[in-house]
Structure 1
Amino acid sequence: MAAKQIADKLISEHLIAVFSKSYCPYCSRAKSVISSLGLDSSKVGIIELDQTKEGADIQAYLADETKQRTVPNIFINEKHLGGCDDLLRAQSEGRLEQLISSA
């Protein structure tokens, strides 16, 4: 139950929620793109799953909810976006700014 509460809290309290692993190059790329948006840091929530004891449980919960087992697992405005490729695609298509500004 703790994993669900931690994940849901991060998603509901932040415009962008990222479930990441500190050593993952795709996570680093996604966090760099998000950082470049210039949002107030209070709007972006990041959990490094490899650095929290509930990490494996959170990842399993998210896999059940989103059908995505990989990281990064990104939510914008409480909606599941996907992973790094989905974020980069949304950015290149101009949808990323729309998703953020519609919040």
Structure 2
Amino acid sequence: MTAAIEIYTRPGCGYCSAAKSLLTRKKAAFTEYDVAKDSSYRQQMFDRAGAGSTFPQIFIGETHVGGCDELYALDREGKLDGLLAGEKAVP
């Protein structure tokens, strides 16, 4: 079973593009919430990730990954594939 992946993005965000690129390279399907298309997504993101959060904000299953840097760090540490596969996050 694979984990549901959700990513909150905004147009012109290089970090958003980089995060989506990594997920695409991993062949991980994700749901993108573009705040330019629906402004309610911004509040939804803040409710889930905390006000003052930057773009993108990434959620894999029940785990709030954080932003692009955190996503790439998980990949470097060899933890991203397991998370994408639906395994519980290792603290």
Instruction: Please indicate, yes or no, whether the TM-score normalized by the shorter chain is above 0.5.
Output: yes
Pick from 74, 77, 94 the counterpart of residue 61 of structure 2: 77
Q: Name the amino acid aligned to 1:70.
A: T
1:38 and 1:61, CA in 2 relative to 1: closer, same or farther beyond 3 A? closer
**Structure (1/2) with the larger helix percentage:** 1
The Cα offsets for residues 55-102 of structure 1, whole Å up to 9 and x where unpaired, read as: 2x3223322332252110100013211000110100110110010113
Q: What is the one-letter code of the residue matched to 1:94? A: G
Equivalent residue number for residue 62 of structure 1: 45
Contact 1:72 1:84 in 2 (8 A): yes
TM-score normalised by structure 1 residue count = 0.71
Measure how far apart 1:49 and its partner are: 0.9
- The residue type equivalent to 2:32 in the other structure is I
CA contact (8 A) 2:56 2:67 kept: yes
Task: Point out where structure 2 has 5 or more consecutive residues left out of the alignment.
Answer: none
2:79 aligned residue: 95
Match of 1:4 in 2: none
For 1:45-60, list aligned pairs within 5 A. Answer: 45-52=31-38, 55=39, 57-60=40-43
**Equivalent AA in structure 2 for residue 50 of structure 1:** A
Q: Is the 8 A contact 1:17 1:44 kept in 2?
A: yes
Structure 2: which amino acid aligns with 1:71?
Answer: F
